[in-house]
């Protein structure tokens, strides 16, 4: 866990989310799936003027009305209460009611005419002997309102088929202008500026746009589990607020820098100045943007005035980049660590060292004979697996533990900042892409074994954040590593299938079969990792024959 004293911004307690429920009513049309949306009042305290799905807060009456509801197997009390709240809100706001008569006939528009939308809802249903169709309301997603907002809600997004024989009629107090719209159409109108929606609505519609019919959505929700759960985070991009879900690349960085949700962190890639991440941690990205480097190679500065600084991955021999690193450290660099010897990581080490009066040692692992000439590297001192490199400033200590992780390169290592449980992953784990494993210096079996080692380290040390050499900080470290390994093994299964389908084939014949989901312009790069998988599979086969 990151030391609270090292956070950049004073923390404040986010507002507690209130339980609520919303329901997406759906129907099929000739044009495809349509959903019902309404516009909130311009004076509403939450999302004024936004187009939304009907819904609102859950109250005690919803939990006390279970005897009025039809319940399906697997629908527990909490889900039943949420479904009842959504049914009640859709009636109060739009005059729509998911209910049946005691004899099973659906409640229709004529039955609803005598109901008072402002009166006690459950009492009126009970008096008529109606059964509420909670069994036909399914869980789609679970949203928790962003931490930065003063009013927050914990909201299941539910889905149901539009009841037949009824028409929406807005209450003209909270909701206005009910409209049936296809998800893709709503998104297009939002982009055009004529259909304002808030972030969870937009992201929900993006997912619903993939479904062709009401039944397809209901089938997807049959498992009684949310298809996704999210509490978004926001940062600044080009000076404007930008929000992200957990699977999106900037999310982990926002969780590290602003755990309480304050919108103060700029996500724009900076090459001219360091980006502070914690009081003792900054990132300076080299200007070597490209297909293999993404926004550029991340150089990290660990330390502060009292301890001096360590530089992790000085990057290419770019004089301007190295000068900025030197100035950010005030010239007080105690040691320079290279995670591996590839030309976008290590060549800056010697020139940076020469700029420093104290000549800090360059530490790392020497390149293996399998490395190409452009990756030749000999550190001043070879580190050992498990060794701890320290910056000591009396009351402050920053300890970097060496973790040998061969695979991407034979001399690859990662670093664990022990006091804050932060993992510097070099190129072993990247944000937004998978690393290339290029034989002979790269080895797929070693790479997968190293992933297992990092997974165990994260569990043992409570590592939540990974700081990669390319891309933003990655959050939820154990899940990220597990997802990466699963992706590698899925790709390997495709390699094995291609080799079986074309036993006389070669790499060029197998690439289109294995990487059909990757743009063809990337196939020359993918071919390197394909070779690594092929060598691993053949080695495993040979071992089994012994």
CATH number for the domain spanning 398: value is: 3.60.15.10
Contact by Cβ (8 Å): 151, 45:
yes
Residue 225 maps to a domain: yes
What CA–CA distance (Å, rounded) separates 440 from 434?
18
Looking at the fold, whether 303 and 195 belong to one and the same domain comes out as no
Residue 33 domain-assigned? yes
CA nearest to 311, candidates 277, 283, 286: 283
- pLDDT tens digit string along 207-244? 999 999 999 999 999 998 999 999 999 999 999 999 99
Residue-level pLDDT at 339: 98
Among 433, 450, 476, identify where a domain stops.
Answer: 476
Residue 483 in any domain: the answer is: no
Ordered strands of the 388-392 beta sheet: 388-392, 397-404, 413-417, 422-426, 465-468
Residue 134's alpha-carbon distances to 111, 131, 247, 452, in angstroms, are: 19, 9, 31, 45
Q: Do 501 and 456 fall within a single domain?
A: no
Q: Are residues 414 and 331 in the same domain?
A: yes
Is the per-residue pLDDT at 338 higher than 80? yes
pLDDT at 546: 67
Rounded to two decimals, what is the model's pTM?
Answer: 0.92
pLDDT at position 1? 87
Report CA-CA distances (Å) from 140 to 24, 155, 204: 9, 11, 9
* Tens digits of residue pLDDT in 180-198: 999 999 999 999 999 999 9
Select from 231, 249, 283 the last residue of a domain.
231
Q: Are residues 112 and 207 in the same domain?
A: yes
Sign of CA dihedral 480, 485, 486, 492: positive
The 10 Å CB-count burial string (b at 16+, else e) for 356-392 is beeebebbbbebeeebeeebebebeeebeeeeebebe
Identify whether 245 is part of a domain: no
Answer yes or no: do 25 and 129 share one domain: yes
CA atoms within 13 A on the CB side of 404: 12
| pLDDT at position 428 | 98
- Would you state the torsion angle of the CA atoms of residues 166, 172, 174, 179, taken in this order, to the nearest 10 degrees? 50
Two tokens at 498?
Answer: 């291609």
Residue 193 CA to residue 520 CA, distance in Å, equals 36
Classify residue 90 by burial, with Cβ atoms within 10 Å: 0-12, 13-18, 19+.
buried
Quick one: how far is CA 40 from the chain centroid? 29
The CA angle 100-101-107, to the nearest 5 degrees, is 55
Task: Tell me the pLDDT tens digit for each residue of 422-464.
Answer: 999 999 999 988 999 999 999 999 999 999 999 999 999 999 9
* Confidence at 285, pLDDT banded by 50, 70, 90: very high
pLDDT at 274 over 70: yes
CA distance 203 to 230: 10
CATH number for 206:
3.90.79.10
280/392 same-domain check: yes
Structural domain boundaries, residue 517: 489-545
Regarding whether 158 and 27 lie in a shared domain, the answer is: yes
**Could you give the CA distance from residue 512 to residue 515 in angstroms, rounded to a whole number?**
5
SS (H, E, C) 78-113: HHHHHHHHHHHHHHHHHCCCCEECCCCCECCHHHHC
**480: number of CA atoms within 13 Å, CB side?**
28
**175: pLDDT confidence band, cut at 50, 70 and 90?**
confident
CB 458 within 8 A of CB 478: yes
Other Cβ atoms within 10 Å of 73 Cβ, number: 6
Structure confidence by residue, pLDDT tens digits, 142-153: 999 999 999 899
Count how many domains the chain has.
3
What mean pLDDT do residues 260-285 have? 96
Helix (H, G, I), strand (E, B) or coil at 411: coil
Q: Name the DSSP class of 294.
A: B
User: Do 402 and 364 contact (CB within 8 A), yes or no?
Assistant: no
Co-location of 506 and 424 in the same domain: no
Tokens of 133: 């169709």
CA dihedral 350, 356, 361, 364 (to 10 degrees): -50
Q: Are residues 444 and 500 in the same domain?
A: no
Q: What is the mean pLDDT of residues 295-308?
A: 96
**123 or 47: whose pLDDT is higher?**
123
Q: List helix spans (H) across 192-311.
A: 199-208, 214-220, 251-257
Same domain? For 403 and 530 the reply is: no
Q: Is residue 3 part of a domain?
A: no
Chain-wide mean pLDDT for the chain? 95
What dihedral angle (degrees, nearest 10) is formed by the CA atoms of 494, 497, 498, 499?
120
Within-domain flag for 261: no
User: Which residues, 6+ apart, have CB-to-CB distance to 421 below 8 Å?
Assistant: 1, 2, 461, 462, 463, 464, 465
Q: Is position 414 within any domain?
A: yes
Q: Residue 494's CB: how many other CB atoms inside 10 A?
A: 17
Residue 256, in any domain of the structure: no
- CA separation for the pair 194, 177 (Å, rounded): 13
Same domain membership, residue 378 and residue 316: yes
Shared-domain flag, residues 419 and 527:
no
Q: Tens digit of pLDDT for each residue in 374-421?
A: 999 999 999 999 999 999 988 889 999 999 999 999 999 999 999 999
> What are 109-148's pLDDT values in tens digits?
888 988 888 899 999 999 999 999 999 999 999 999 999 9
């Amino acid at each position: 866990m990151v030391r609270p004293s090292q956070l950049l911004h004073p923390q404040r307690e986010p507002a507690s989310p209130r339980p609520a429920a919303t329901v997406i009513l759906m129907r099929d049309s000739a044009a495809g799936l349509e959903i019902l949306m309404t516009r909130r009042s311009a004076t509403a305290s939450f999302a004024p003027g936004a187009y939304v799905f009907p819904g609102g807060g859950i109250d005690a009456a919803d939990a006390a009305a279970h005897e009025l509801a039809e319940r399906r197997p697997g629908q527990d009390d909490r889900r039943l209460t949420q479904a009842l709240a959504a049914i009640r809100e859709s009636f109060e706001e739009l005059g729509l009611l998911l209910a049946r008569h005691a004899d099973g006939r659906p409640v229709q528009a004529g039955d609803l005419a005598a109901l008072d939308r402002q009166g006690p809802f459950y009492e009126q249903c009970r008096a008529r002997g109606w059964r509420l169709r909670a069994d036909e309301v399914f869980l789609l997603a679970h949203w928790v309102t962003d931490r930065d907002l003063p009013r927050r809600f914990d909201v299941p997004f539910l889905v149901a088929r539009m009841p037949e024989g009824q028409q929406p009629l807005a209450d003209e107090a909270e909701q206005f202008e009910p409209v049936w719209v296809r998800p893709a159409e709503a998104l297009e109108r939002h982009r055009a500026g004529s259909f304002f929606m808030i972030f969870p609505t937009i992201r929900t519609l993006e997912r619903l746009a993939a479904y062709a019919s009401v039944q397809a959505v209901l089938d997807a929700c049959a498992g009684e589990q949310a298809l996704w759960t999210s509490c978004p985070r926001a940062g600044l991009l080009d000076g404007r607020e930008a929000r992200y879900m957990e699977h999106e690349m900037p999310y982990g960085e926002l969780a590290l820098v602003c755990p309480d949700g304050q919108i103060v962190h700029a996500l724009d890639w900076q090459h001219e100045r360091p980006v502070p991440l914690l009081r003792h941690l900054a990132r300076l990205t080299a200007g070597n943007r490209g297909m293999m480097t993404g926004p550029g190679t991340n150089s990290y500065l660990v330390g502060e005035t009292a301890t001096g600084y360590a530089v992790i991955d000085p990057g290419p021999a770019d004089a301007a980049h190295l000068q900025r690193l030197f100035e950010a450290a005030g010239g007080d660099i105690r040691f320079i660590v290279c995670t591996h010897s590839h030309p976008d990581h290590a060549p800056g080490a010697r020139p940076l060292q020469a700029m420093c009066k104290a000549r800090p040692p360059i530490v790392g692992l020497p390149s293996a004979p399998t490395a190409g000439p452009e990756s030749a590297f000999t550190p001043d001192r070879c580190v050992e697996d498990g060794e701890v490199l320290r910056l000591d400033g009396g009351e402050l200590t920053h300890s970097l533990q060496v973790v040998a992780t061969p695979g991407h390169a034979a001399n690859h290592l990662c670093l664990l900042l022990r006091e804050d449980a932060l993992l510097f992953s070099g190129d072993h784990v990247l944000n937004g892409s998978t690393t290339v494993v290029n034989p002979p210096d790269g080895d797929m079996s070693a790479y997968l074994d190293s992933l297992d080692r990092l997974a165990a380290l994260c569990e043992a040390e409570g590592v939540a954040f990974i700081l990669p050499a390319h891309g933003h900080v990655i959050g939820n470290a154990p899940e990220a590593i597990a997802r990466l390994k699963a992706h590698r093994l899925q790709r390997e299964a495709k390699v094995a299938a291609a080799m079986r389908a074309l036993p006389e084939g070669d790499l060029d014949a197998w690439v289109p079969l294995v990487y059909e989901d990757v743009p063809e312009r990337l196939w020359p790069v993918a071919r390197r990792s394909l070779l690594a998988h092929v060598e691993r599979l053949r080695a495993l086969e040979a071992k089994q024959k012994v």
